[in-house]
Amino acid sequence: MDFITIIDYIGTFAFAISGIRLASAKHFDWFGAYVVGFVTAVGGGTMRDLMLGLPPFWMLNVSYLVVTGLALLFVVGLRKYVVRLNNTFFIFDAVGLGLFTVVGVGKSIAAGYPMWVSIIMGTMTGAAGGMFRDIFINEVPLIFRKDIYAIACVCGGYIYFFCRWLGMADAMTQLVAASSVIVIRILAVRYGVCLPALRGEPGQEEE
């Protein structure tokens, strides 16, 4: 098993937990929570593969279904610690975001696409699953709010190519790029850094 596959599985586990964590807050049953966790974990990668003209990755390997099941058991078994911690969702979401970004960039490069396409695909892989998750639980997706979310993926994509330009080994490149996404996301939330909101016309209701 190569390093990028390990990253993919860890990202699947982390993102599935983030989805299951939010589903539990909405009082979904176990099956509903599993579905939300699975869609969170594979949604972005499925969109990426379809746009790259590849079969969706999870349809070629049952392990992604198993990893999501393990994530559900993890949340159920440690629910007193996982569900009740306010920052648990954020931590797992940030980790999944970073890991999936580098998976998406790496897979696009392997398919022969240029840098700009690879960065877009990496951003989609990282951010789209969270978008589907939020839609499933009837929340405004993070990607459409002021939060630094997809922008963190874009930055991670550029850092990925910068590391390649420096001649770093693939594993180190992937580790640095994923860590950069996680750090950017955490620091943005910690210090309240966000994009400006688009203002409506005078007289329109603002939230």
Give the DSSP per-residue string, 46-79.
Answer: HHHHHHTT---GGGS-THHHHHHHHHHHHHHHTH
Q: What is the mean pLDDT of residues 76-83?
A: 75
Instruction: Please state, in angstroms and as integers, the Cα–Cα distance from residue 171 to each residue in 7, 160, 204, following that order.
Output: 10, 11, 50
Identify which of 163, 154, 55, 64 has the alpha carbon closest to the alpha carbon of residue 111: 55
Q: What pLDDT score does 201 carry?
A: 62
Q: What is the pLDDT of residues 144-158, one digit of tens each?
A: 776 788 999 999 999
Q: How many helices (H) and strands (E) does the chain have?
A: 8, 0
Residue 23 has pLDDT above 60, yes or no: yes
pLDDT at 200 (0 to 100): 63
Q: What is the pLDDT of residue 22?
A: 87
Question: Which of 113, 122, 172 minimizes the C-alpha distance to 152?
Answer: 122
Residues 111-145: pLDDT tens digits?
Answer: 999 999 999 999 999 999 989 999 999 888 877 77
Tally Cβ neighbours within 10 Å of residue 93. 25
Q: What's the pLDDT score for residue 73?
A: 94
pLDDT at 4 over 90: no
In a 10 Å sphere around its CB, with 0-12 CB exposed, 13-18 middle and 19+ buried, how is residue 192 labelled?
exposed
Burial class from Cβ neighbours inside 10 Å (0-12, 13-18, 19+) for residue 52 reads middle
